[in-house]
């Protein structure tokens, strides 16, 4: 993995301001990011222990250089665009203050990194913002769940070991017995298909190798098949083939879900997805439109079928289809 000699990435000291520590502005310019000051860095989860188990979500960046063609960020009401790049430049101070307060009153919870954008996008290789935020979670003993498509996550194994030693789980999930959860995200295991829909993300082989390495290190590692692509990777046979490979590398869990498509503007996920489908899989355009009609989600019977297939295949391979 690349390292930045100006950034002391191997110790566990926390630098309070990324701007003061090294050439923040040059890096931001190089990667096309702007700076944004935020009032809060932790968002309380609205769901009571949803599928990702997070009590709080944390996204160090806005925008995602992987720019997957189906990404819900584009066009959804939750975020602007994968191409509006911002660094939350006061994130370290804000997180330190928020976790200090929570620790004092004994409020514990899992921090979910990557609910909206990948925490290991390209700029992270040089900026180390996710890494510095992880150091703060370790100092205040908060457990973490990381969702990513990137093998850059391997860079931070040393920190994950510390968090696993030091973290304190919330009472209701103490039986989890792991303070670090790492979920890799896939929509297919076909490299050619991934290249079409996820052209800038690390390829499938790199993700699989990263999973193996993290499993060798005995972390809790699983897979999110979100979204399965209608008529491309969503059939029972396709799910079976995908999960058999995850079974071979002994992932701890696999969960998944269907595609969502938002918006009508050029960069919105619905527009982008149908454009790509037209160019590469024209015969699936009409069937896909049929399951969505005018909605952002496919119809309920399609969704139920996906969940049923995932459940059945996980049972066949004796893999959990949820983290707990
Ligand atoms: S990696 Fe995730 S957040 Fe980034 S573009 Fe792809 S789906 Fe969106």
- Of 68, 41, 55, 31, give the one whose Cα is nearest residue 150: 68
Mean pLDDT, residues 72-95 taken together: 84
> SS3 string of 152-204?
HHHHHHHHHHHHHHHCCCCHHHHHHCCCEEEEEECCCCCHHHHHHHCCCCCCH
β-strand partners of 63: none
Can you give the pLDDT at residue 20? 54
Residue 135: partners with Cβ closer than 8 Å, 6 or more residues away: 12, 13, 14, 159
Q: Which of 74, 84, 118, 223 for mutating ligand 1's site (highest number of atoms within 8 Å of CB)?
A: 118
**Phi, psi at 89, each rounded to 5°:** -70, -20
At 2-56, the pLDDT tens digits run 444 445 555 555 555 555 556 788 888 899 999 999 999 999 988 778 899 999 9
Query: Cα(64) to centroid of ligand 1, in Å?
Result: 6
Cβ(118) to ligand 1 under 6 A?
yes
pLDDT of residue 4: 44
> Does residue 137 sit in helix, strand or coil?
helix
Cα angle: 85, vertex 203, 304; to 5 degrees:
85
57 lines ligand 1 (CB under 6 A): no
Phi/psi of residue 133, nearest 5 degrees: -65, -35
H-type helices in the chain, by residue range?
A: 18-21, 24-31, 91-104, 124-127, 129-139, 157-166, 191-197, 204-216, 236-248, 269-280, 285-292, 300-317
Ligand 1 centroid to 121 CA: how many Å?
Answer: 9
**Contacts by 231-239, CB closer than 8 A, 24 or more apart:** 231/281, 231/284, 231/287, 231/288, 232/188, 232/193, 232/281, 232/284, 233/187, 233/188, 233/189, 233/190, 233/193, 234/258, 234/306, 234/309, 235/309, 236/309, 236/312, 236/313, 239/309, 239/310, 239/313
Residue 241's pLDDT band, with cuts at 50, 70 and 90, is very high
Between 83 and 245, where is the model more confident? 245
122-179 residue pLDDT tens? 999 999 999 999 999 999 999 999 999 999 999 999 999 999 999 999 999 998 989 9
Looking at residue 145, its pLDDT comes to 98
For the domain covering 18-317, report its CATH number: 3.20.20.70
Region 222-235 average pLDDT:
98
The C-alpha atoms of residue 195 and residue 206 are separated, in whole angstroms, by 13
Return the HEC string of 18-51.
Answer: HHHHCCHHHHHHHHCCEEECCCCCCEECCCCCCC
The domains of the chain are located at 18-317
Of 149, 151, 259, the one to substitute when testing ligand 1's pocket (max ligand atoms within 8 A of C-beta) is: 149
CA of 104 to the centre of ligand 1 (A): 35
Give CA–CA dist 316/320, Å, rounded.
Answer: 10
Ligand 1 atom with least separation from CA of 148: 1
Spatial separation of the C-alpha atoms in residues 149 and 143, rounded to whole Å = 20
**Top-confidence range, 70-74, 131-135, 174-178, 262-266:** 131-135
Q: Mutation test of ligand 1: which of 84, 117, 195, 207 has the most ligand atoms closer than 8 Å to its C-beta?
A: 117
Measured in Å, residue 71 CA sits from the centre of ligand 1 at: 5
């Amino acid at each position: 993995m690349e390292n930045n000699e100006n950034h002391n990435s191997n110790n566990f000291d926390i630098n309070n301001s990324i701007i003061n520590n090294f050439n923040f502005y040059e890096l931001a310019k190089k990667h096309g990011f702007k700076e944004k000051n935020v009032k809060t860095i932790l968002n309380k989860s609205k769901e009571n222990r949803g599928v990702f188990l997070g009590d709080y979500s944390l996204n160090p960046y806005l925008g995602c250089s992987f720019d997957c063609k189906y990404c819900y960020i584009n066009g959804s009401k939750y975020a602007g665009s994968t191409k509006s790049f911002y660094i939350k430049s006061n994130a370290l101070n804000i997180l330190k203050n928020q976790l200090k307060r929570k620790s004092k009153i004994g409020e514990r919870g899992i921090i979910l990194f990557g609910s909206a954008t990948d925490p290991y996008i390209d700029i992270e290789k040089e900026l180390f913002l996710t890494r510095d935020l992880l150091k703060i979670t370790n100092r205040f003993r908060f457990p973490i769940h990381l969702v990513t498509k990137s093998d850059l996550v391997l860079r931070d194994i040393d920190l994950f070991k510390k968090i696993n030693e030091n973290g304190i789980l919330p009472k209701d999930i103490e039986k989890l017995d792991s303070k670090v959860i790492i979920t890799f995200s896939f929509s297919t295991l076909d490299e050619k298909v991934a290249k079409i829909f996820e052209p800038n993300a690390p390829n499938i082989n790199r993700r699989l190798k990263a999973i193996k390495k993290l499993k060798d290190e005995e972390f809790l590692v699983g897979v999110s098949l979100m979204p399965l692509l209608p008529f491309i990777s969503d059939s029972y046979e396709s799910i079976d083939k995908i999960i058999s490979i995850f079974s071979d590398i002994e992932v701890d869990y696999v969960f998944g879900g269907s595609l969502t498509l938002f918006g009508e503007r050029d960069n919105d996920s619905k527009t982008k997805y149908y454009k790509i489908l037209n160019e590469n899989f024209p015969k699936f355009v009409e069937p896909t439109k049929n399951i969505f009609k005018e909605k952002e989600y496919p119809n309920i019977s399609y969704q139920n079928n996906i969940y049923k297939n995932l459940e059945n295949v996980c049972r066949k391979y004796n893999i959990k289809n949820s983290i707990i």
